[in-house]
Amino acid sequence: MCATCGCDANASSSIRQIGEAHDHHHDHDHSHGHSHSKTIIEVEKDVLYENNLLAQRNRGYFDAKNILALNLVSSPGSGKTSLLERTLTDLKDQFTCYVIEGDQQTSRDADRIHATGTKVAQINTGKGCHLDAHMILHALQGMKPAEDSILFIENVGNLVCPAMFDLGEKERVVIISVTEGDDKPIKYPDMFHTSTVCVINKTDLLPYVPFSMEKVKEYARQVNPNLQFIEVSCTSGEGLQDWYQWLKEKVMLPQSV
């Protein structure tokens, strides 16, 4: 159960490596012993301790293999998959890329990514509203990404819960489109607080919507003064070079030890 919104995260999540016929279901068993005296246990344990532990394990895996892992978060429909489609097609000859897709149901997004020729795994969270480090761990086991590659993790479209779950990523990329309100950053501050870069998508629609580029940045900086911005349009291709430049810089960055 997701502590943020109460949705049932563990109920029926499944992971599929697209192009292979294999479903992965996971159950947890717990056993209990017996005794009869009252004891106080000082637990002092973070509720997200298990997730954070697994996230660090993923992070170690990425570091060892020099994989740039990016966690893409946004509300539904802001263009995460479109941005990936463009990126994977345009950078095909420059980088080896992998994608993990997170959605409640269907493999529609993974099919779109698969069509670009990229290796992709689809995680269906069932009723769950976010990806967690445990799901990524299992997706990686089936995917076996190569060294010196880029792994894009497209989280479930949701500006709330995914903010709380570290997946082991190097950078968290929050995507917002100009058809959403420019006050999103302060309405959903957690997501903007935990991200390092903000991609503002659908800039080709700016003439038609009351969206202020200055305002969105001002609001976002109130929550996170270190946030970087990249303005793009996946339709017209405008600004995508800035996004590719950012990716290249991250790939070139010497590994932190």
Partner 1 sequence: MSIIAITEKESAKHNAVQVDEIELEIGDLSGIEMTAFDFAWQQAVRSTLLEAAKRTISQIPGEGLCMECDALFPMQQLYEPCPVCGNHFISIQKGKELRVKSLVIN
Chain residues in the site for partner 1 (CB under 8 A): 1-6, 10, 28, 30-51, 160, 163-164, 185-186, 189-190, 193, 219, 221-223, 225
- Which of 3, 64 has the CB closer to partner 1? 3
User: Based on CB atoms, which residue is closest to partner 1, 126 or 189?
Assistant: 189
Under 8 Å between Cβ of 170 and 62: yes
CA-wise closest residue to 56 among 166, 163, 145: 166
Q: How far is the CB of 134 from partner 1 (least distance, A)?
A: 11
- If the CB atoms of residues 53 and 146 are measured against partner 1, the closer one turns out to be 53
- The residue (of 22 and 38) whose beta carbon lies closer to partner 1 is 38
Return the structure tokens found at 254: 């010497």
**Which lies closer to partner 1 via its Cβ, residue 52 or residue 116?**
52
Residue 102 C-beta: closest distance to partner 1, Å: 19
Give the Å distances, CA to CA, from 20 to 113, 122, 137, 138, 143.
15, 11, 18, 15, 10
Closest CB 52 distance from partner 1, rounded Å: 10
Burial of 71 (0-12, 13-18, 19+ CB in 10 A): buried
b/e 21-48 (16+ beta carbons within 10 angstroms → b): eeebeeeeeeeeeeeeeeeeeeeeeeee
